[in-house]
Structure 1
Amino acid sequence: MLHEVLLALSGHPSPLFRSDDKPPTDDFPLLSPSEAALLQSIGKLAEVHRQLRGHVQWITRKHRSIICRAVATSVQQKHLARFQHKILEVERKILTRDASVVGAYDIVPLAGVVGEFDDWHRRMSWFWEVACLMQPHGESNAEPQPQAGCTGAFLIDELRAASNTGFPEIEEAATDLSKVAETAWLRQLSSWLLFSRLPVQSAHDFFIKSEPALEENAAMFHKDARLLPGFVTPFVASSILFIGKSLYQVKQLSNTARSTKLVLQHSNNSELAQTHLQHLSSLSLPIVPAQLSRAVSAIRLSLSQNVLQHLLPMEETTRLLSCLRQFMLLGKGEFALALISEAEARLQARQQNMGRLLQKDPLRAMQGLSIKEVELHQALAQVWKGLAREDEDGEDDILGFAGTHLKLSTRSSSNSSRPSTSDSGLSAVPQLAPVAFNDLLFPSATFLELVIQSPLDLFITPREANIYASVNAYLLAIRRAQVRLSDLWRRTAARRDFPSPTGSSGRGTSQETRLRTKRRSQATRKIWATCSAAIFLISEISAYFEGEIIKESCDHFEDWVKTPASAAEEDESRVSLRSETEEEVAQRDPETLAAGHRIFLAALTYALLLTDISYTRGLRSLLGNLDSLIAYFNRLLDLQQKLDLEYEAGDASTLTEEDEQKSSLELDRARKKVDSDLKAVVNRLRQLDHERIGSGRYLDIGAAEGRAYEPWKGGGVDSLLMKLEFGRMADEGYDIV
């Protein structure tokens, strides 16, 4: 019987143990109840061993994850082999009559044999749970399905959790398997970090994913957070993605003379790879998150300081920031005014042509309502020419840079085909309110976009360029409303009385003209009051955004960008690889700059109130109703002027006072809508002043994420409200602003 027990434990079928879990006393009546209980216990261990051996063998051959295969192989070749060795050791003790197993008269107690395997029951059950976790047992005979089994990252997390158990044998086994799983994961990681290559086998199990780009022989990479082991923080994952993407772009650019010269001059790929490999080899197993973070940071700094800073020097970064500040954030006021004037001129020309075309071909006139790409390109080209004429010396290189990298388009190209290396590692970036301001400048929605070309994509992503386009449309809409309202005061005839055009000075005529002028003046008094309140509010909002928020935030961020990195951030590999005669300032690596830029942009949009849906919706309604008010007001003024001319000329007028009354009624309705929107915007600003208190006053994601850059913290909404309080106007007992 002992022979049968040992054979059963080795994985062979035995008549002592039945598959229907019935006690062996039914087939062997000579067994005592205690012996039957002992055999039942050892039978369960033998059955688990037999199933486990077949299951892990299937996993090593067919599982989709290379990490699961490595763990199954370790279970099979190490732990099950250790169990087999234990069986042989017990058999040796029996054959050599070892006193620890064999008693007097060469009697081998069954309890003694069973006791030799007491510590294997819990361990073997745990191995079986791990095997079923990697691949459910019911699917062992079927081909693996995409949804079957677990991922390598999930297995690593489960093994790490199991190592914290209170059972020493489980802790030892879980720690050993964790080392195996993390070693397999590190091999995948090293291929990406050293050579920007995705794993050949089980690429689906690695958290870096590749997609073909629109450009020939190019690829786009992104990370899948679901495939990240728990010990990899989001910041480390972003650094890993950045390193691999950067190496990939260096390889893609290696065909150009510029990049080849830089790479050969400032770095040696084999030496860099050896240095980076040393950082990965220094990691202990199981991996300590702090050690992995330090190793990845060292590789990132080494790559950035030896290669990437030569592809994207500080001059290129500051030029890009100046372009964004002057043109996207309207720091150059001449650009905003020129673009608004060009757009207004083209709209007026389209309206004149539309009136004539409606009489001839209405269908064609309706088709011409939308703006075309060619017209947008022509409008922006005229703006660049006008700005270039003002630059008499021709030394504004930022203007030339903007002319190359900025374009007006009706389609957003935020999903660029370029494989950008900059990637967001922030976990709490605020989302912009879904309120569009880009349909006010032209009839169709237009975007002033930044064309991202390599190596600028080391610093900025298409998503951030799209945010800049939204901010630009927002600021342009506010500036346009301010310009259009100011134009009303330039219509002197609407605010002052002039002598009769015909020179007639009859008493009746003069009396009738004075009465008509007085009546019109009283009727438009509310209109001028509303326009005054609107231009005051719009002007103060514009001054607050552009003169305080944008100016101070950009100055603060540019100072941080230009400040050299601290000596602690210097990497030893840079010192060993660069020329002894080179004396360079240690600028921050591109990923640190890109991460700081994302924090800056997120804090800027938060301070510009672009993240608040109620405020943006109210402001958008105000700007739209202001356009209607201005259009109705200009229409009424033109109608009144034409009526006066025809009346003074004594001709039969085709217009009547009824037409003037209808226009006045439409204008009054538009005025009431603007008054309502003005109150709604100011009330929302006051609510924001009460809501954004304490930690909510500023978007402090820099400190929360442990980043190097901390955004500027200046005056909140209360500074804008203080200015508005000085301009409060009252009409008929209620506040307009």
Structure 2
Amino acid sequence: MIAELILLLAGHPSALFLESGKLDPAFEELLHPGEQQSLEYLSRIAGRYRTLKSSVGTLSGTSEYLSSMMAAVRVVLSEYENLVVQTEAKVLQRDDEIVASGSFVPLASLKATFSQWDGPLAALESLINHIQRLGPTNISPGSLIDLLLERSRVGVERVSEIMADLALAVQRVWQVHLTAYVVHGALSAKDPFAKTNPHQLNARMMPNCVSPDSRESIAYVGRAIATVKAARGHRSQQQQLPRSIAVMHTKMLSKVLPQDRHVFDSVIAQIRVNVSEWLWTTVLTRKDVDDALDSLANYFLLRNGEFSVALIREIERLKLSRLTPRASSRTPGISIIREQDLSLALLRASLGTSAQYDPTLSRLRFTLPTGPVRPFIPSFNANPDLSTLSVHSTSSTVDFTTTLLGMPLELGYTLAWPLDLFLTPTDLRSYTHLFAYFSSIRHTHQRVMACWSSLSNSQRMRRRWVRLGEGGDTHDGGGRRDLLRCGWGVVREMVWFLDALWAYICLDVVEGQYQRLKASLAPSGAGGGAKKQNFLLSNPGLAGLIKTIMELCEVFVATVERWGGDVLPDLLAEGSIAGGEDGGVGRMVRERAKVVQDVNETLNNLLETFYENLSGSLSSQSALGNGDATVATTFFVAGSSHNLNTTMIGGKRKTKDVHNHLATDAEVRRGAERLLLRLDFNNGFSKAGGTSRGSEGILREGGLA
């Protein structure tokens, strides 16, 4: 029986036991219950060993990571096999440790000898079963490392050691692939570290112990090295990463594992600094940086004012020529706006401006995410219902891409070598959002200014006939005068708000931060350039208010356009003068006065809410002692300020960067405070009840009442 047990423990089948591992009933009467329990205990250990032995061969060929783990499992099982061989030798040699009185082998001795493997084999069996349930092809390298590290944190020391050894074996393979990607820019055919089109990190490869910063650095360094190596025919063909740096990085990576999080993070950060400094001094020139920053600022941030105004006008002209019912009936075959039409609008807008001879203009492109724009019937009524106009939801980012064209319109930028190393699609997406935001404000501003000009022209033409009055008789003359001045007052407040907002964006946001960034990128300039968030864009509440105010301005301007460009109806128009049983002002004058009054009240409420929210944001950040929150506004949200400055300069001037960061926060906060001062120049908001005014309040502010 002892020989049978030794063979059983070595993995061979035995006639003493059933397939389930239970003792054959034929032997139960011959054995003591204690002996039966010992035999079944040894049978369970042997069964687990057989299961693991067969699973090792099955899972070894599925992937490099599972193969390395199975190789480590074989090492563990070899220790068990050595114990079986040693036990057999002791039995044959009648060793007193196993053989009692030199004549028989107690089952309790065998049970005590192999009991140390009960827990480890059970843990390994549970691990293999879990992997098989998930599917060997479905478990990713990152999740496999996480699984092994989690199972190594147990109270049984031997089990913890085995799981730690398995995790170490898998991490060694992961370490080799990481080195190939980070040092040589190479990707394995199976389980690659990154996807090449578009070039982004493979999330399946990253275990949870790798911090987000390290993941971003791995993606950055690997993409940079791979792009440099693939740049055949460019000026950087001979500018490959020096061998000395590659060898140094290989040695650094060979000494750390992702499970040692802090050490691993520091090594990855140092590698990023080294690669960034090499790229900065070798591949990327100052001219490349300046050209990219100038191009992005001029076209996405509307720093080139003459071009931006011309572009908005070209888009308006394109809408009138393609989307109006009159244009559709005249040229039914071309009553549609495609992306190529918008590209032509870019070229037309550049004529006669400084952008006409700018080579970077060819990198701009408009895209229509929802497809070509077709003619649509306007939904405006003669007297708009402002009750449907509400502040946009504050639960998500407000979309400004539909303002220019009525449909989603996005401006893109084609990156040329070597800027594609540093500016990612996510960075360019941030610039796209900023263009939509700034162009929406500029478009609305131009529309309101055009309404102001239309009212002025209508007033001059009317003065040729009615001289000093507004026409009408003694009954409706006063009503016409009040309607005209109330309309002027509404447009004046719209122009005042948009002027203040646009001046803040141009001077405090775009120009100020642009000059600060250019100075920080100078070799002798201060380092830093922290990445900011936008209070007027990333703050959903303030962005929603601005969006609603712009929509109200659009509604009012469109209403005035349908009225013929004037708030006053013609004297000879039906319903414009008093008549019938009502007496007083005419029906048309009363209707228009009601519309103007509703717009005035809605606008005042929105402006007051905007001022209160902006003041509250500043106050809350002052209480927290943090000026870099939602009120901090810069235009380099996720792109060049972080990637081309903080990333590449690295940690050489960290102490100095902290002071520069604090100085930038203070300057940004002062800019937001200047916006509040512009809005409250005449104490209209700070005084109690200053914005709760009707038509008389507008006249009084204008010195007319």
- State the TM bucket, normalised to the shorter chain: 0.7 to 0.9
Tell me the alpha carbon deviations over residues 47-101 of structure 1, each in whole angstroms, 9 at most, x when there is no partner: 111111112221113x3x321221112212x111111101111122222222222
CA contact (8 A) 2:8 2:14 kept: yes
CA contact (8 A) 2:490 2:596 kept: no
Question: Percent of counterpart pairs with the same letter?
Answer: 20
Question: Is residue 2:595 matched to residue 1:669?
Answer: yes
1:304, distance to aligned residue in structure 2 (A): 3.3
- Rounded Cα–Cα distance in structure 2 between residues aligned with 1:614 and 1:630: 24
Q: Paired residue for 1:196, among 181, 185, 189?
A: 185
1:254, distance to aligned residue in structure 2 (A): 1.2
- Aligned residue identity for 2:364: L
- Aligned residue identity for 1:48: R
Describe how 1:345-364 pairs up with structure 2 within 5 A: 355=326, 361=329, 364=331
CA contact (8 A) 1:157 1:230 kept: yes
Closer/same/farther in 2, CA of residues 146 and 99 from structure 1, 3 Å limit: closer
Q: TM-score, normalised by structure 2?
A: 0.77
Aligned to 2:361: 403
Q: TM-score, normalised by structure 1?
A: 0.74
- Rounded Cα–Cα distance in structure 1 between residues aligned with 2:470 and 2:253: 95
- Number of residue-to-residue matches in the alignment: 631
Question: Is residue 2:264 matched to residue 1:295?
Answer: no
SS of equivalent to 1:260: coil
- Aligned residue identity for 1:174: M
Aligned to 1:130: 127
Closer/same/farther in 2, CA of residues 502 and 307 from structure 1, 3 Å limit: closer
Aligned to 1:542: 502
Question: Is residue 2:426 matched to residue 1:466?
Answer: no
Question: Is residue 2:698 matched to residue 1:720?
Answer: no
CA contact (8 A) 1:323 1:401 kept: no
1:183, distance to aligned residue in structure 2 (A): 0.9
- Rounded Cα–Cα distance in structure 2 between residues aligned with 1:157 and 1:565: 44
Q: Paired residue for 1:280, among 233, 253, 261?
A: 253
Question: Is residue 2:203 matched to residue 1:225?
Answer: yes
- Rounded Cα–Cα distance in structure 2 between residues aligned with 1:253 and 1:511: 75
- Rounded Cα–Cα distance in structure 2 between residues aligned with 1:4 and 1:565: 82
Aligned to 2:38: 38
Tell me the alpha carbon deviations over residues 409-457 of structure 1, each in whole angstroms, 9 at most, x when there is no partner: 54599xxxxxxxxxxxxxxxxx995544344445655434322222222
Aligned to 2:66: 68
CA contact (8 A) 2:486 2:596 kept: no
Describe how 1:79-158 pairs up with structure 2 within 5 A: 79-136=76-133, 146-147=137-138, 150-158=139-147
CA contact (8 A) 2:228 2:236 kept: yes
Aligned to 1:380: 346
Aligned to 1:215: none
Closer/same/farther in 2, CA of residues 172 and 609 from structure 1, 3 Å limit: closer
Describe how 1:429-468 pairs up with structure 2 within 5 A: 435-442=398-405, 445-468=408-431
CA contact (8 A) 1:477 1:623 kept: no
- Rounded Cα–Cα distance in structure 2 between residues aligned with 1:332 and 1:492: 28
1:620, distance to aligned residue in structure 2 (A): 4.0
Question: Is residue 2:289 matched to residue 1:317?
Answer: yes
Describe how 1:175-254 pairs up with structure 2 within 5 A: 175-200=164-189, 202-203=190-191, 206-210=192-196, 219-254=197-232
CA contact (8 A) 2:452 2:491 kept: no
Closer/same/farther in 2, CA of residues 168 and 621 from structure 1, 3 Å limit: same
Describe how 1:15-26 pairs up with structure 2 within 5 A: 15-23=15-23, 26=26
Closer/same/farther in 2, CA of residues 99 and 679 from structure 1, 3 Å limit: same
- Aligned residue identity for 1:619: I
Aligned to 1:260: 237
CA contact (8 A) 2:95 2:102 kept: no
SS of equivalent to 2:105: coil
Aligned to 1:679: 605
CA contact (8 A) 1:609 1:616 kept: no
CA contact (8 A) 1:606 1:699 kept: no
Closer/same/farther in 2, CA of residues 261 and 124 from structure 1, 3 Å limit: closer
- Rounded Cα–Cα distance in structure 2 between residues aligned with 1:723 and 1:555: 23
Higher mean C-alpha displacement, 33-42 vs 622-631: 622-631
- Rounded Cα–Cα distance in structure 1 between residues aligned with 2:195 and 2:456: 65
Tell me the alpha carbon deviations over residues 549-572 of structure 1, each in whole angstroms, 9 at most, x when there is no partner: 334433444444336799xxxxxx
- Rounded Cα–Cα distance in structure 2 between residues aligned with 1:177 and 1:381: 62
Tell me the alpha carbon deviations over residues 525-563 of structure 1, each in whole angstroms, 9 at most, x when there is no partner: 211111112111222222233322334433444444336
Tell me the alpha carbon deviations over residues 89-134 of structure 1, each in whole angstroms, 9 at most, x when there is no partner: 1122222222222232433322122211121111111111222222
- Rounded Cα–Cα distance in structure 2 between residues aligned with 1:564 and 1:160: 47
- Aligned residue identity for 1:450: Y
Q: Paired residue for 2:490, among 530, 545, 558?
A: 530
- Rounded Cα–Cα distance in structure 2 between residues aligned with 1:411 and 1:249: 29
Aligned to 1:690: 616
- Rounded Cα–Cα distance in structure 2 between residues aligned with 1:131 and 1:445: 51
Aligned to 1:163: 152
CA contact (8 A) 2:301 2:438 kept: yes
- Rounded Cα–Cα distance in structure 2 between residues aligned with 1:408 and 1:666: 39
SS of equivalent to 2:501: helix
Unmatched 5+ stretches in structure 2: 372-393, 578-585, 631-636, 651-656, 685-690
Closer/same/farther in 2, CA of residues 70 and 372 from structure 1, 3 Å limit: closer
1:295, distance to aligned residue in structure 2 (A): 3.1
Aligned to 2:687: none
CA contact (8 A) 1:621 1:677 kept: no
Unmatched 5+ stretches in structure 1: 211-218, 392-398, 414-430, 567-587, 644-652
- Rounded Cα–Cα distance in structure 2 between residues aligned with 1:466 and 1:410: 14
CA contact (8 A) 2:447 2:554 kept: no
- Aligned residue identity for 2:72: S
CA contact (8 A) 2:214 2:268 kept: yes
Tell me the alpha carbon deviations over residues 661-694 of structure 1, each in whole angstroms, 9 at most, x when there is no partner: 6487357526624641442253144235435623
